[in-house]
Every structure is written in C-alpha cells, then in structure tokens.
Amino acid sequence: MTIQNDKSLKQYNTFGIDVTARHFATFGSVNELTDLLNYELPSRSQRLVLGGGSNILFTKDVDGLVMKNELKGMELVREDKEHYYVRAAAGENWHQFVMFCVNSNYAGLENLSLIPGNVGASPMQNIGAYGVEIKDSFESLEAFHIEEKSIHHFNANDCEFGYRESIFKRKYRNQFVILNVTYRLNKKPVFNTSYGAIEQELEKMEVKELSIDAISQAVINIRSSKLPDPKQIGNAGSFFKNPTLPASMLGPLQQVHPAIPFYAVGDSHVKIPAGWLIEQCGWKGFREGDAGCHKQQALVLVNYGAATGHQVYQLSEKILQSVKEKFNILLEREVNII
C-alpha cells in the first residue's frame, strides 16, 4: 500500500480542476481496499472513493484520503438461451467495456457508447443516453460495505433505479464501494434508433444492414460532434438533469412558451430538456474567465483551462436562478459537488 501526500487531482477529474488531496492511493483488489479503509487518519478527515472522475466537480482541496478505484477485469460469466451475462470490474473504463460488448456481439449497451467514466459509476448514476438506461440491462452488482468490511450483493430491485438515480446516491450514499457489475445482454439485438438523431446519422453513414456496431458508431459520431472532449476542454458532460414535471404544469407553460419541447413520462408527467431551458435564458456559449457554457450544448458547463471549481459552481448557480425566474422550474445538478 503506497500513500502519496499532497497529490494534485487535476488529472483525475474530467473538469481538470487543480485541487490537492492531503493523501492519495489506488486500490486494485478488495484486500488493498480493506487496507486503505483501515488506514488511520486524523479525526474529521474524510475518505473519498474516486472512479473515472467524470461526474464530479471539486470546489476545494480534499482534507483526507482519496482512494482511486483501479479494479480491473471483464468476462462472460454465463449464458442462457437468450442472454449473455457479462461482468466488469468497477475500475474499468465504461466506453472500453461497451466496445468489448459490441465487438463480442453482446447487445444492449451500444446506445451508451462514448459516455465518460468508469463501470462502477454506471449503476450508481443509472447512466442513460439515446433512449437506453443502465437499468434496462442491469443484472446485479457486488459492493463493499465500508463500515462492516463485507461484500454485499444487489439485484435491480435492491438498487431502486430512477432517472439518474439509485440507492447509492441517496440512502446508501458514501456507505459502499462498488466492486463489479454484471449486465444481462441480448443474443438477439433489440435495436433502439428512434431517439435523437440516430436514424439520420445511420442514413448519413449509408448503413445498409442495421447492427449494434453501426448504432454504436452512430452514437459516437453524434456525441463527438455535439459534446466537447474532456481531453481538450474540461467538462463532466451533462451538468443538469432534465426536469420531470406533472403534466398539469405543461399547459400553463405552453401558453407563455408555445415552442417548449417535452416528451411524456408515463401518463402523468412530462420531461423538459434542460439544455433548451438554459439556452432560452441566454447561457449557451457564455464565458466568464475560463468557466463557461459550451457553445454547442448549453447543458454542458466547461473549464477552458484555469477555472476553479468554485467559479464553475457559481456559474451553475446563476443558471439555476435564471431558469427558475423565467420558467418557474428548478433544475437539479447531475454532477456531484465536492
């Protein structure tokens, strides 16, 4: 076990925020994780488990121990007549895992190509894109209870998945370290091309025969054209959730804003694109110093180089306030604030 002191976390978060961890270490096994959890820290010092750093905004230094999850491994654990059951360790890169599944003809995750972050965050956030969410193909996960020092098994019901939500973000927040995730993937693909611009992109690609590889490439093309590469411009993808409202609120909103886009969520609610709300408030392309709102996607806040986490957070506060004033809708941040 090697613990580094006063370690910069700039390379470990996709916003590229330059903060320092008082102590820093990596773990690649349950034994190493246990050793780090047993490591004695000064009173009031925090422990922070860090994955891919793609859904986090550091606003201050971490006065404690940052434990970087580097658990690795991907494998087919079993199969039945209709499904493959594929397990990946939490420290694996998400996109690389999706490519492993696509190349192996394991269908179900292709719409989630090029999402930044690691496998461990996928059930925690119930990540989703282009009409697909993790809960659609989730089978189970193993997680390590920090206080009990024991491994627990969770199925889909246990995880209480919601829109960008799971039990690990609420009831069990900071109580577990996800070790691995098993997905139930299809032998016979169920193609999902109706969401967003996938069908148009497939036509542009001149795809003659639909496949999970083609859908994956279409999603990669779309995301690459719309979203900034964190290696070039610091960001954490979508900063805000799309708000879900009672359907009864839609009529009054349409009277004032006839062009407001929406789509139904069940029989009683609608979802409004947060990016549209933010753009209507004039934030798209806004920049103040090195903190800004991306010029092509208003939902993405960016660090153009030397922005502090506090500056990005303050910009998000201004956006929240302006959307509330204009639409009487309170946005919720998707990114975790530290």
Structural domain span for residue 266? 234-337
Say if CB 101 and CB 109 are below 8 A apart. Answer: yes
Domain co-membership, 211 together with 325: no
Q: What is the pLDDT of residues 174-183, one digit of tens each?
A: 899 999 999 9
* Domain boundary, last residue among 12, 45, 69: 69
pLDDT surpasses 90 at 316: yes
- Per-residue model confidence (pLDDT) at position 152: 97
Average pLDDT of the residues in 236-249: 91
> What percent of the chain stands above pLDDT 70?
100
Domain co-membership, 110 together with 164: yes
pLDDT surpasses 70 at 108: yes
Domain co-membership, 83 together with 215: yes
Q: Which of 164, 201, 223, 316 is catalytic?
A: 164
Q: For the chain, where are the E strands, in sequence order? A: 4-8, 20-27, 46-50, 56-57, 62-69, 74-79, 83-89, 128-129, 132-133, 138-145, 150-155, 176-186, 234-238, 244-246, 263-265, 269-271, 287-288, 291-293, 300-303, 336-337
Q: Which two tokens stand for residue 297?
A: 């996607």
Tally helices (H) and strands (E) across the chain.
Answer: 9, 20
Domain co-membership, 293 together with 264: yes
Higher pLDDT, 263 or 310: 310
Q: What is the pLDDT of residues 114-164, one digit of tens each?
A: 998 899 999 998 988 888 999 999 999 999 999 999 999 999 999 999 888
Say if CB 334 and CB 164 are below 8 A apart. Answer: yes
Domain co-membership, 213 together with 258: no
Q: What is the pLDDT of residues 213-242, one digit of tens each?
A: 999 999 999 988 888 888 889 999 889 999
Domain co-membership, 221 together with 316: no
Instruction: Report, in this order, helix, strand and coil percent for the chain, each rounded to 5.
Output: 30, 30, 40
Domain co-membership, 60 together with 121: no
- Per-residue model confidence (pLDDT) at position 196: 67
Domain co-membership, 57 together with 117: no
Confirm whether 137 is a catalytic residue: no
* Torsion angle of C-alpha atoms 255, 258, 261, 264, degrees rounded to 10: 40
- Per-residue model confidence (pLDDT) at position 164: 82
CATH code at 145? Answer: 3.30.465.10
How far is Cα 155 from Cα 179, in angstroms, rounded to an integer?
Answer: 14
How far is Cα 255 from Cα 328, in angstroms, rounded to an integer?
Answer: 14
212-218's contacts with Cβ under 8 Å and 24+ in sequence apart are 212/102, 212/105, 212/107, 212/110, 213/102, 213/103, 213/110, 215/110, 215/111, 215/191, 216/98, 216/99, 216/102, 216/110, 216/111, 216/113, 217/113, 218/193
Confirm whether 334 is a catalytic residue: yes
Confirm whether 238 is a catalytic residue: yes
Q: What is the pLDDT of residues 30-65, one digit of tens each?
A: 999 999 998 888 777 789 999 888 889 999 999 999
* Domain boundary, last residue among 193, 226, 259: 226
Domain co-membership, 24 together with 112: no
- Per-residue model confidence (pLDDT) at position 129: 86
Pure H helices in 155-301: 156-159, 198-204, 212-226, 250-256, 274-280
Q: Which of 113, 137, 140, 238 is catalytic?
A: 238
Domain co-membership, 61 together with 128: no
CATH code at 310? Answer: 3.90.78.10
Domain count, the chain: 3
Average pLDDT of the residues in 298-318: 95
User: What is the chain's alpha carbon radius of gyration, rounded to the nearest angstrom?
Assistant: 21
What does pLDDT average to over the chain?
Answer: 92
- The model's confidence at residue 300, banded by pLDDT at 50, 70 and 90, is very high
* Domain boundary, last residue among 180, 203, 226: 226
Average pLDDT of the residues in 180-197: 90
> What percent of the chain stands above pLDDT 90?
71
Domain co-membership, 116 together with 214: yes
CATH code at 22? Answer: 3.30.43.10
Domain co-membership, 48 together with 8: yes
